[in-house]
């Protein structure tokens, strides 16, 4: 595949720090580079306490678990999002309250959320920013949740570095979740960071992520090391990934500028096409993934176009499968204005190559192939 959706940006710095971690003879968890990485990461999302874990799913699981959720509680998640957002709710034996998204940035629709809160009284709202765009209704959602004493888990996996009213996403939630898989804006292969300003929440997450073992060295007697205080998980990030992540942070701003340039180039080259997201007022998206929205084209024709692009070396993907269709999970669905909108997004969006190595001529070629197919079929 010549034109890839995303590529990891690996420099000599990643190799240098990983080799240093190897030379330290410590490649498990709680290494020197883990602490360096977590400290620097906190500066990006404006959070004091940060902990690296093994995946975004693990991060979401820990975040929900740390808030004492029971099987009687609802957790809000947007219908158009990654499956990990609903799987983590199920892992905690809670009930998913799926709210439809709005038509500007594909964030949770505020009016539908108000209805959901009044009717089902959820304990948590997952505030998710999609494809690099800050959710349009973020400020209103935060104000509503504060008023109703609802906790916010903010998922910035696809939008870290973007801003709304000059405020960075990741700074709004009680807990911030950032997946750092290799294809993300900051990637280590597989992993995530959990961030918060609440020391009590952080301490609970820290314990749960480290098998709920509070006696881990220092002045604690050696014989207490493996005493567990209850249910816990082996979720901490290994030292090698911490070293890789520390190197990634050094080039984060530079890579972010490349992403933004590519996103703006797509908007210019594909000016005759529709996009499912708008750049709303006072918003600075980072264009993690670029797409076209073929809302008036039959779904079977869109899928044939997708197959054609893949055969021509252009990697693409569809929109997210609506979370409401996830089987074997207790859930409710709420929408006021945009019922089943996520279904249309799943069928009509074609996500296009967005890796940071793309040049203008590459984007022009992708458009040429799409134009050619649609003209002749």
Residues 256-263: what's their mean pLDDT?
A: 97
pLDDT of residue 218: 65
Q: What is the mean pLDDT of residues 3-26?
A: 94
SS3 353: coil
* Pick from 187, 189, 181, 61: nearest CA to 126: 61
Mean pLDDT confidence for 18-39: 94
The CATH number, out of the four listed (1.10.1330.10, 3.40.50.20, 3.40.50.1780, 3.90.1150.10), of the domain defined by the range 253-376 = 3.90.1150.10
Share of the chain above pLDDT 90, in %: 86
User: Quick one: average pLDDT of 176-203?
Assistant: 94
Mean pLDDT of 194-204: 96
User: What is the structure's pLDDT at 222?
Assistant: 76
Residue 155 in tokens: 């998922």
Q: Which helix (H) or strand (E) holds 58?
A: helix 56-65
Measured distance CA(134)–CA(367) in Å, rounded? 26
Cα separation, 73 vs 338, in Å, equals 25
pLDDT (mean) for 257-282: 97
**Could you tell me the two tokens for 308?**
């054609």
Confidence of residue 215 (pLDDT cuts 50, 70, 90): low
Q: Average per-residue pLDDT in the chain?
A: 94
For residue 288, is pLDDT > 80?
A: yes
pLDDT of residue 174: 97
What pLDDT does 23 receive? 95
At 62 the pLDDT is 97
CA distances from residue 257 to 80, 128, 161, 206, 292 in whole angstroms, order as listed: 26, 22, 10, 33, 21
Average pLDDT score over residue span 136-143 = 98
Q: What string of DSSP letters covers 219-275? A: TS-GGGTT---S---B-BPBHHHHHHHHHHHHTHHHHHHHHHHHHHHHHHHTTTS--
pLDDT of residue 329: 86
Instruction: Say if residue 369's pLDDT is above 70.
Output: yes
Give percent above pLDDT 70 in the chain.
99
Domain 12-251: which CATH class? alpha beta
Band (pLDDT 50/70/90 cuts) for residue 172 is very high
pLDDT score of 160 more than 80: yes
pLDDT at 283 > cutoff 70? yes
Question: Closest Cα partner for 124 from 97, 152, 95?
Answer: 152
Domain boundaries, the chain: 12-251, 253-376
Residue 225 has pLDDT above 80, yes or no: no
* pLDDT at 217 (0 to 100): 61
Question: Using an 8 Å Cβ cutoff, are 96 and 330 in contact?
Answer: yes
**Residue 150: pLDDT over 90:** yes
The whole-number average pLDDT for the span 19-34 is 93
pLDDT at 240: 95
Q: What is residue 67's predicted lDDT score, i.e. its pLDDT?
A: 94
pLDDT digits 0-9 by tens, 93-120: 999 999 999 999 999 999 999 999 999 9
pLDDT score, position 197: 97
CA dist 68 and 92 (Å) reads: 9
Mean of pLDDT values over 244-267: 96
Whether residue 281 is predicted with pLDDT greater than 80 in this model: the reply is yes
Cα first-last separation, the chain: 23
């Amino acid at each position: 595949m010549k034109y890839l959706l995303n590529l990891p940006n690996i420099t000599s710095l990643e190799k240098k720090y990983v080799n240093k971690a190897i030379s330290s003879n410590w490649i498990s968890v709680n290494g020197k580079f883990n602490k360096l990485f977590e400290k620097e990461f906190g500066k990006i999302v404006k959070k004091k306490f940060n902990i690296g874990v093994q995946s975004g799913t693990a991060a979401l699981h820990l975040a929900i678990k740390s808030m004492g959720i029971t099987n009687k509680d609802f957790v809000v998640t947007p219908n158009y999002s990654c499956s990990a957002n609903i799987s983590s709710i199920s892992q905690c034996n809670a009930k998913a309250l799926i709210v439809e998204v709005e038509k500007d940035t594909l964030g949770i629709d505020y009016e539908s959320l108000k209805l959901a809160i009044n009717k089902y009284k959820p304990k948590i709202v997952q505030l998710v920013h999609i494809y690099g765009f800050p959710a349009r209704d973020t400020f209103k959602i935060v104000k509503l949740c504060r008023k109703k004493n609802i906790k916010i888990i903010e998922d910035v996996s696809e939008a870290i570095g973007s801003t709304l009213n000059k405020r960075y996403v990741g700074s709004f939630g009680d807990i911030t979740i950032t997946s750092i898989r290799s294809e993300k804006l900051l990637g280590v292969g597989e992993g995530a960071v959990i961030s918060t300003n609440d020391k009590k929440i952080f301490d609970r997450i820290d314990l749960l992520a480290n098998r709920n073992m509070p006696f881990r060295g220092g002045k604690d007697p050696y014989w207490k090391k493996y005493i567990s205080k209850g249910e816990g998980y082996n979720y901490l990030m290994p030292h090698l990934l911490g070293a890789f992540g520390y190197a990634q942070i050094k080039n984060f701003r530079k890579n972010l500028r490349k992403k933004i340039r590519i996103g703006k180039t797509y908007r210019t080259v594909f000016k005759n096409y529709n996009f499912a997201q708008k750049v709303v007022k006072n918003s600075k998206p980072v264009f993690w993934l670029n797409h076209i929205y073929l809302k008036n084209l039959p779904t079977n024709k869109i899928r044939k176009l997708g197959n054609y692009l893949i055969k021509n070396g252009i990697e693409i993907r569809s929109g997210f499968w609506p979370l409401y269709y996830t089987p074997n999970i207790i859930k409710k669905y709420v929408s006021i204005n945009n019922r089943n909108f996520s279904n249309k997004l799943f069928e009509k969006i074609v996500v296009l190559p967005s890796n940071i190595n793309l040049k203008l001529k590459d984007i022009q070629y992708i458009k040429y192939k799409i134009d050619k197919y649609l003209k002749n079929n």
